[in-house]
Amino acid sequence: ESTLGAAAAQSGRYFGVAIAANRLSDSTYATIAAREFNSVTAENEMKIDATQPQRGQFNFTAADRVYNWAVQNGKEVRGHTLAWHSQQPGWMQSLSGSALRQAMIDHINGVMSHYKGKIAQWDVVNEAFADGSSGARRDSNLERTGSDWIEVAFRTARAADPSAKLCYNDYNVENWTWAKTQAMYRMVRDFKQRGVPIDCVGFQSHFNSGSPYNSNFRTTLQNFAALGVDVAITELDIQGASPSTYAAVVNDCLAVSRCLGVTVWGVRDSDSWRSEHTPLLFYNNGSKKPAYTAVLDALNGG
Ligand code: G3I
């Protein structure tokens, strides 16, 4: 196959991209995105600050621009993200305790009902664990409502849209030896044992010199899959875009039957949240980088 999406589809997987609504009017960007990918994540437009800027007033204008573009171009959509300590609107940042807990529940219900039946996977909770060696939860206003906030979010999400796969999504959880990975593993194991409705784990996979790719990522994916959840690579970008590292990540997903697919976090280097790392698959002029060819070859079976 000659595009990333079609090549991934040969094994029943997708190859997706993060889309920014305000770039869709750039024809180079939109042409590559429409041609190459068969899954879309909104880079910012489905986040809390974008979808509920005032309490009780939902706004899906930008989110629907991304969603409609994806559907019109034949792509499935990953929803990102419903409960997160970051990118909260001011009104939510100022809440605490039971009022914040209720606002989280109302937000999940409001966004998921708008997209009911239309989203393949939702990142229900994002980035709830602390960095470093503690293995603790991240301190946040949501965590301070009680550490059951994550399972409440998942139970709320299941009731709001039973057709969506419900994911927990985080970064620096790719290396099996890291404390953060182990903490996330214990949470997912506990959720599966107690019947908390979790279907998938998203590994963001923002690799850089401080948190480099390690080949034990495959072990991580296998160990989570063995708990009875799907896994996905949700925000892939690699500092310097080494072709062999990109191929290794793709091959790790292909090696795990419960790996649903791979999403890269932008189209061209200039579209990246960290463009100075030139981490993506396309040059700024829209031409394919060596990493693109390495990924395509891997998806086509090497
Ligand atoms: O839209 C405003 C614009 O109106 C304003 O003029 C401009 C000035 O700063 O800011 C614009 O908003 C920015 C937005 O991106 C859209 O470009 C925000 O400041 C900026 O903070 C925001 O950054 C996003 C970041 O999440 C915020 O946390 C990045 O685009 C986005 O790639 C990044 O994505 C996250 C994932 O959601 C979760 N995992 C990590 C990943 C990378 O940080």
How many CB atoms are closer than 10 A to CB 69?
19
Cα 238 to Cα 292: distance, rounded to the nearest angstrom: 12
Percentage of residues of the chain with pLDDT beyond 90: 100
For ligand 1, atom 29, the nearest C-alpha belongs to 273
- Mean pLDDT for 55-71 is 98
Q: Which residue has the tokens 């061209």?
A: 268
pTM above 0.80, yes or no: yes
Ligand 1 in contact with 44 (CB < 6 A)? Answer: yes
Cα 64 to Cα 123: distance, rounded to the nearest angstrom: 17
Residue 226: partners with Cβ closer than 8 Å, 6 or more residues away: none
Query: Which value, in Å, is the radius of gyration of the alpha carbons in the chain?
Result: 18
CA of 20 from ligand 1 middle (Å) equals 10
Mean pLDDT of the chain, nearest integer:
98
Q: Which residues are catalytic?
A: 235
- Mean pLDDT for 264-282 is 99
CA of 271 from ligand 1 middle (Å) equals 11
First to last CA, the chain: 12
For ligand 1, atom 34, the nearest C-alpha belongs to 43
pLDDT of residue 197: 99
Residue 65: partners with Cβ closer than 8 Å, 6 or more residues away: 21, 24, 45
Ligand 1 atom closest to residue 171's alpha carbon, by position in its atom list: 39
The single-letter code of the amino acid at 277 is H
Ligand 1 in contact with 86 (CB < 6 A)? Answer: yes
pLDDT of residue 112: 99
Pairing of strands 121-126, 76-84: parallel
